[in-house]
Amino acid sequence: MSHLSRSDLMSLEEYNEARDEFRRRIMQHKKNRVIPLGPNMTLHFEDKLIMQYQIQEMLRAEKIFDAAGIQEELDTYNALIPDGENWKATMMIEFGDPDERAKALAQLLDVEDKVWMRVEGFDKVYAIADEDIERATAEKTSSVHFMRFQLNDEMVAAAQNQAPISLGVDHANYNHQLEPLAENYRQSLAEDLRD
């Protein structure tokens, strides 16, 4: 999947006019890419369209129109676009009560390294988490992690050929699996593996 460039973006004026329709399109698209994993964890699988929306929203919110500012946003968000051999996701750990969240994040230390995906017929692929910056401390994990699930050529081919895909987390204090993912999720994720 190719990265975004300035030519993929609308001007602030163009985006302002197209924003409502673009937002509707993104919300529909995300229905097949936001996957709950147990009661307190959600993986948001990123792709080029979602990153285009994120960049447009950042440019709008920050009123960025200069070339250097636009390039900085492109560089930041392009890193989250899968490259055809992997899936990339933002993992959110969600607890409504702040005290409960603080306690849970301490109990979930290293959970980001225990999240996996599996293409049927192959071994689990554990997430490579937070490549840009370490988000956990010695006492607790973060509530947000950025993940990459790197696949080999055989896994890519199998996923493209409709092999079931599973998702899970193997942590002593949080153990959940989705085996296999629903077809709408599987199909959307398989799209990330096309050139």
Q: Is the domain of 117 the same as that of 178?
A: yes
- Put residue 162 in one of left, alpha, beta given phi > 0 → left and psi -120 to 50 → alpha: left
C-alpha closest to that of 9 among 54, 68, 63: 54
At 171-186, the pLDDT tens digits run 999 999 999 999 999 9
Q: Is the domain of 124 the same as that of 194?
A: yes
Q: Is the domain of 23 the same as that of 116?
A: no
Q: Is the domain of 173 the same as that of 111?
A: yes
Q: Is the domain of 70 the same as that of 163?
A: no
Task: Confirm if 157 and 7 have CB atoms less than 8 A apart.
Answer: no
Q: Taking the model in full, what pTM does it have?
A: 0.93
- In this prediction, residues 120-127 reach a mean pLDDT of 98
Residues paired with residue 87 on neighbouring β-strands, in sequence order: 149
Q: Is the domain of 11 the same as that of 72?
A: yes
In sequence order, which residues have a C-beta less than 8 Å from that of residue 185 and are 6 or more positions away? Answer: 32, 33, 35, 165
Distance CA 58, CA 65 (A): 11
Give the other-Cβ count within 10 Å of 31's Cβ. 10
Q: Is the domain of 38 the same as that of 19?
A: no
Number of domains in the chain: 2
pLDDT of residue 139: 86
Residue-number span of the structural domain to which 135 is assigned: 34-45+84-195
Q: Is the domain of 62 the same as that of 148?
A: no
Q: Is the domain of 93 the same as that of 74?
A: no
Check which CATH number belongs to the domain holding 180 and give it.
Answer: 2.60.40
Q: Is the domain of 39 the same as that of 55?
A: no
Distance, CA of 155 to chain centre = 19
In terms of pLDDT, which residue wins out, 194 or 13?
13
Q: Is the domain of 177 the same as that of 137?
A: yes
Which of the four pLDDT bands, split at 50, 70 and 90, describes residue 195?
A: low
DSSP 98-117: HHHHHHHHHHTTTGGGSEEE
Q: Is the domain of 148 the same as that of 185?
A: yes
Looking at every residue in the chain, the average pLDDT score rounds to 95
